[in-house]
Amino acid sequence: MGVSEQSKLPSDAANEGSNRSRGVVRFLFAHNAVVLLIVMFVVAAIISDVFLSTGNMVNILRQQSTFMLVALGMLMVMLTGGIDLSVSSNVTVSSIMVAYFLKDLSFQNLSWGLMFSIFMAIVSGLVFGAVNGFFVAKLNMPPFIVTLAMMYAGRGVAFIITDANTILLDQNVPAVEALVGFATGSAPGINIPYPTIVMVLIIVVMWLVMHYTSFGRLVTATGSNETAVLLAGINSKKYKFWSYALCGVLCGVAGVILAARTGSATALSTSTSYDMTSIAAVVIGGASLQGGEGNVPMTVVGVFVLAIIGNIMNLVSLGVYPQLVVKAIIIILAVLLKSVSSKTA
């Protein structure tokens, strides 16, 4: 033993250079979404002059805030080995809650009405997610089915509350003005949209939660091998439940931003593909559908990969339908790279 350790040292020193470059290659293979993002960025910059303009950049950041929040929630759920197909419905119901409280319940006339409406929207997101979590964690039902059912339920609720009409907020009311100003305006001096600031804050918080708290650790452990975690004396159900519930909260926040951006809310938003887009982003970021794999920074990368694809295709005015095909190709490519890299490693 002692001999082998000694003989290792000189060879290590000699190999350090090549080891390092091999390490870089391995890192890039394992984090192929980063490479993909850089390639996309460069290609986009070459194809279109507009791409690098401040206006376009700010636009991407503003647009992505809602998708980012949903994707982070989805990450948490997928780390446990689950999936949440109901996010679009949840975001929509939450956005409707804001508008409904402000307008239909006339909270817009109260001084604290705006804060209360936002609060209720986030609570609605929490409750929605908690229902998912209850069925999946406590009653051991398959997440795919539970969240599929909740997707329909949410859609129904959205249409019931709005009577299938769009709730249009009166932007002359101070509360609504503040809400819309939040979504469309930028922080004074630095030209960064408020929703983007919220997004960055939440990314940081989520990163801290997933990497520096026992909650994040045990959520990942649960997805990695639930039987082992259970037999080790950990209440894995608790972590599953809260990952769905917190995913719901993030959907709630996304719903508020959505309502603020348009100054309105409509049940038609349920057909926005928050679900598929966020799943795709998380998967591009290297997460496994079996759970236990994936992290916040790579999910952020995944979201921007999809964002830039969408953006550049808009800039070169590619049709909406061809866009879908291109997106599909990129998703398959990213996942293919991952399965290749995990085989070689």
Partner 1 sequence: MAEYEYAVEMKGIYKSFEGVHALEDVGLSVKPGEIHALMGENGAGKSTLIKVLSGAHRADAGEVFVRGKKTDIHNTRAANDLGISVIYQEFALVPHLSVAENIFIDEFGSEYVRIDWKKLRARAKAALEAIGFGDINPRIMVRELSVAYQQVVEICKALTRKAEILVLDEPTAVLTNKEVDKLFGLIRSLKEQGTAIIYVSHRLEEIFRLTDRITVLKDGQYVDTVNTADMEPQSLVNMMIGRDLKSFFPERDPAKQKIGDVVLKVENVSAGRMVKDVSFELREGEMLGLSGLVGAGRTESVRAILGIDRMDGGKVYLRGKEIKFKSAKDAFDNGVGFLPEDRKNQGVLLKMPIKYNITFSCIKRFTTYFGWLLKKAENTFANEIKDKVGIKTNDIRNAVSSLSGGNQQKVAISRLLACDSRILILDEPTRGVDVGAKMEIFRLVNDLIYQNFAVLMISSEMVEIIGMCDRAVVFKDGRSVGEVQRKDLTEESLIHYAMGV
Q: Which of 132, 147, 220, 243 binds partner 1 (CB under 8 A)?
A: 220
Residue 149 φ then ψ, to 5°? -60, -45
**Least distance to partner 1, CB of residue 26, Å:** 14
Nearest to partner 1 of 52, 231 (CB atom):
231
Instruction: Mark residues 304-333: x for contact with partner 1 by CB under 8 A, - for none.
Output: ------------------------------
Instruction: Mark residues 289-308: x for contact with partner 1 by CB under 8 A, - for none.
Output: ---xx---------------
Kindly state the number of chain residues that form the binding site for partner 1, as judged by CB under 8 A.
21
**Least distance to partner 1, CB of residue 329, Å:** 29
In our burial notation (b when 16+ CB lie closer than 10 A, e otherwise), range 210-239 reads beeeebbebbbbbbbbbeebeeeeeebbbb
Identity at 227, one-letter amino acid code: T
**Least distance to partner 1, CB of residue 208, Å:** 9
In 3D space, the residue among 232, 228, 223 whose CA is nearest the CA of residue 79 turns out to be 223
**Least distance to partner 1, CB of residue 224, Å:** 4
Distance CA 252, CA 123 (A): 7
The interface region with partner 1, picked from 93-101, 174-182, 222-230, 254-262 by CB under 8 A, is 222-230
The interface region with partner 1, picked from 37-45, 193-201, 224-232, 295-303 by CB under 8 A, is 224-232
DSSP 31: T
In 3D space, the residue among 298, 133, 293 whose CA is nearest the CA of residue 206 turns out to be 298
**Least distance to partner 1, CB of residue 200, Å:** 21
**Least distance to partner 1, CB of residue 292, Å:** 6
Q: Which of 7, 212, 324, 333 binds partner 1 (CB under 8 A)?
A: 212
SS3 193: strand
54-79 and 87-99 helices cross at what angle (nearest 10)?
120
Q: Which of 231, 324, 329, 332 binds partner 1 (CB under 8 A)?
A: 231
State both tokens at 168: 């249009």
Q: Which of 6, 21, 54, 227 binds partner 1 (CB under 8 A)?
A: 227
The interface region with partner 1, picked from 30-38, 54-62, 218-226, 261-269 by CB under 8 A, is 218-226
Q: Is 69 in the site for partner 1 (CB under 8 A)?
A: no
Q: Is 2 in the site for partner 1 (CB under 8 A)?
A: no
Q: Is 233 in the site for partner 1 (CB under 8 A)?
A: yes
Q: Which of 165, 217, 271, 328 binds partner 1 (CB under 8 A)?
A: 217
Q: Is 275 in the site for partner 1 (CB under 8 A)?
A: no
Q: Is 205 in the site for partner 1 (CB under 8 A)?
A: no
Residue 317, burial from CB neighbour count under 10 angstroms (0-12, 13-18, 19+) = exposed
Q: Is 213 in the site for partner 1 (CB under 8 A)?
A: yes
In our burial notation (b when 16+ CB lie closer than 10 A, e otherwise), range 266-293 reads bbebbebebbebbbbbbbbbbbbeebbb
Q: Is 221 in the site for partner 1 (CB under 8 A)?
A: yes
Residue 145 φ then ψ, to 5°? -70, -45
Distance CA 242, CA 228 (A): 19
Nearest to partner 1 of 103, 237 (CB atom):
237
Compute the half-sphere exposure of residue 183: CA atoms within 13 Å on the CB side of its CA.
23
Q: Which residues contact 242 (CB under 8 A, 6 or more apart)?
A: 133, 215, 219
- Contact residues toward partner 1 (CB under 8 A) are 212-215, 217-218, 220-221, 224-225, 227-235, 292-293
